[in-house]
Amino acid sequence: GVVTTGTFPQRAGRCMAAMEVESASASTSTSCGEVEIDGAQLEGGGQIMRLSLGLSLLTRRPVRIHSIRKSRPKPGLARQHLSGAMLLADMGGAEISHAEVGSTELTLNPTPSGRGGGGQPRTLVADPGTAGAITLLLQAALPLALAFPLETLVLRGGTNVNFSPSIDYALLAHAPLLERFGVPAHLAVVARRFNSQHGEQGEVQVSVTPPTPTSMVEEGGGGGSSDGAVPSQAAIRRLTPLVLDDPGAPAILEGVLFGSGGSGGGRGG
């Protein structure tokens, strides 16, 4: 049946707990059904879709999202959102429906094997063909990069785009924070693109080192088997906890200014 009680994180937590209990009893099924998400909640933007798809893949629960970006001037999926959704489905091994520009609905059904590409590390490319924010693709993909074999992510679009985190934030804040959790993420900026530019796409190549050799998937029977890969709570607990009440003192402050050059072809200083 369709599960609609509570928020997705709450439901996802209950599903993961049920998976661990049933795994211990050699059962491979759970009482958790398809999760239905109203994409118009709160600000009603693309982040609801990205988080919902990621949680669906990590918990192996089907999800249906409706009213996607309903309150936006152009409702439904733009190219950047579609590119991100297709990337996640490919990373996690899932069937996706209604995936087209302008669609206000998506259905994601994780496959039983749970591993795209047969469980072998791969290089995946996400290219919306626009200046859509690369960092939003990155936000969606990083959690799955901890759970599924991956060599390199090639993300194309805009590196410095209005109303989105810049790639510099990802380099100087996001990646170092992940490393403190015990998950080194290497980001290489191949080319920059500002949202005011025309021409070549920006490109960022990403590689992630999971905290254990077997990634974040428990080996063994039930929900943690290599045939039905389900990232378990035990695996997530292997991340290094952070101490947030002692941030330390700033050692150095740096400023970097980039410019797209403008119509006159000048260089940013």
The number of helices, as runs of H, and strands, as runs of E, in the chain is 7, 9
Q: What radius of gyration, in Å, describes the C-alpha atoms of the chain?
A: 19
> Is 213 strand, coil or helix?
coil
pLDDT recorded at residue 106: 92
Structure tokens at 269: 């200083």
Question: For residue range 148-202, what is the model confidence (pLDDT) as tens digits?
Answer: 767 799 999 999 988 899 999 999 999 998 888 888 889 999 999 987 667 678 9
Report, in this order, helix, strand and coil percent for the chain, each rounded to 5: 30, 20, 50
pTM of the complete model:
0.73
List, in sequence order, every residue forming a beta bridge with 194; answer none if it has no partner.
160
CB within 8 Å of 212: residues ≥ 6 apart = 235, 238
CA-closest candidate to residue 145, choices 207, 213, 188, 235: 207
pLDDT band at 43 (very low <50, low <70, confident <90, very high): confident
The more confidently predicted of residues 226 and 59 is 59
Whether the predicted pLDDT of 6 surpasses 60: no
